[in-house]
């Protein structure tokens, strides 16, 4: 699975064995599936069992070879593929493998390129291998996608970054030399200014080799697990609580919920006043002590009101932000 594209019939056969084992166990009894297989393949953090989807996992494994083609420029196997199919896009991948007689091995790997390239970015050095408009080097999106209007007006839509630099004051200095098919209107000035501010802030400082980076990992190195999660659309930060900011108050408890919050306090005060009780309650267990002198009948009547009062407190809390 890490080198060849898995045949559909083989993948379905393996998944059938997995399903039969999961729902039927080791016996021969056929049991009804309780949830869909797609749900079973969902990660633990999203309520699934974390079983790997074979089709997706196979694509993630093959993505490793697309990554290695871009970074292992001196390897003999890469030279062979580049000579056979040619390279495109700055040499980060081969040209598409076409025809029914193409090598099935590399043809199956290249079939994932459109998905793979969504998650690669470039660190620009010399700029001779990174396309100015099409490659992602100014952020998570290409300049073509961020400024489609300027892309349509450009004279150099397929240019590489190094071809758009000039050296007016010597070798050490580089300035952008972009050409457009027309002058811009007044209503386009803000857009043009934002465009030039962006590319000036991302201008390469050192003329080193261009480097490919994996955007799903902080260290920029390709990772099969992150690619698998990205293909399934299940990239997660783990427990959902991490997505919320720091709370501005202490944790909730029963005493605050039913006694000390603003709404509950007003309701309890009203009830106690009706029965002639003065109260300052610090713990729910003190209620018995406070009403001890009111008589059994009054205590029964007062606490007969409590279930209804609790319901009012909870319903009120759902509508307001006191809890």
Q: What is the pLDDT of residue 245?
A: 53
Of the candidates 117, 108, 124, which has an alpha carbon nearest to the alpha carbon of residue 164?
A: 124
Maximum CA pair distance of the chain?
100
Q: What is the pLDDT of residue 299?
A: 47
pTM comes to 0.67
Of the candidates 162, 126, 121, 159, which has an alpha carbon nearest to the alpha carbon of residue 141?
A: 121
Which residues lie closer than 8 Å to 237 by C-beta, 6 or more apart?
243
Of the candidates 190, 198, 161, which has an alpha carbon nearest to the alpha carbon of residue 178?
A: 161
Total residues belonging to the chain: 323
Of the candidates 267, 250, 234, 304, which has an alpha carbon nearest to the alpha carbon of residue 39?
A: 234
Spatial distance between the Cα atoms of 23 and 111, rounded to a whole number of angstroms: 34
Kindly state the tokens that stand for 120: 């690669």
Of the candidates 105, 102, 14, 91, which has an alpha carbon nearest to the alpha carbon of residue 53?
A: 14
Kindly state the tokens that stand for 50: 């974390």
Of the candidates 89, 99, 94, which has an alpha carbon nearest to the alpha carbon of residue 122?
A: 89
Residue spans of the chain under pLDDT 50: 235-239, 241-243, 288, 291, 293-294, 296, 299-300, 313, 321-323
């Amino acid at each position: 699975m890490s080198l060849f594209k898995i045949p559909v019939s083989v993948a379905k056969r393996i998944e059938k064995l997995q399903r039969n084992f999961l729902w039927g166990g080791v016996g021969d009894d056929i049991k009804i599936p309780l949830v869909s297989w797609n749900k079973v393949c969902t990660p633990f953090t999203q309520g699934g069992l974390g079983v790997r989807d074979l089709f997706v996992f196979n694509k993630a494994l093959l993505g490793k070879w697309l990554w290695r083609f871009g970074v292992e420029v001196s390897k003999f196997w890469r030279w062979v593929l580049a000579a056979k199919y040619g390279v495109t896009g700055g040499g980060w991948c081969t040209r598409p493998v076409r025809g029914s007689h193409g090598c099935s091995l590399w043809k199956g790997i290249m079939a994932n390129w459109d998905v793979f390239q969504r998650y690669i970015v470039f660190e620009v050095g010399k700029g001779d291998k990174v396309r100015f408009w099409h490659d992602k080097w100014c952020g998570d999106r290409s300049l073509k996608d961020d400024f489609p209007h300027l892309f349509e007006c450009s004279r150099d839509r397929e240019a590489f970054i190094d071809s758009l630099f000039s050296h007016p004051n010597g070798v050490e200095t580089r300035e952008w030399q972009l050409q457009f098919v027309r002058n811009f209107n007044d209503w386009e000035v803000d857009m043009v200014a934002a465009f030039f501010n962006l590319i000036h802030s991302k201008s390469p400082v050192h003329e080193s080799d261009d480097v490919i980076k994996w955007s799903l990992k902080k260290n920029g190195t390709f990772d099969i697990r992150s690619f698998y999660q990205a293909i399934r659309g299940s990239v997660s930060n783990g427990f959902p609580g991490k997505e919320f900011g720091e709370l501005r108050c202490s944790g909730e408890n029963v005493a605050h919920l039913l006694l000390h919050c603003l709404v509950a306090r007003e309701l309890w005060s009203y009830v106690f006043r009706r029965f002639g009780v003065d109260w300052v309650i610090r713990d729910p267990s003190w209620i018995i002590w406070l009403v001890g002198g009111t008589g059994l009948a009054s205590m029964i009547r007062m606490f007969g009101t409590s279930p209804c009062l609790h319901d009012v407190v909870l319903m009120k809390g759902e509508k307001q932000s006191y809890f």
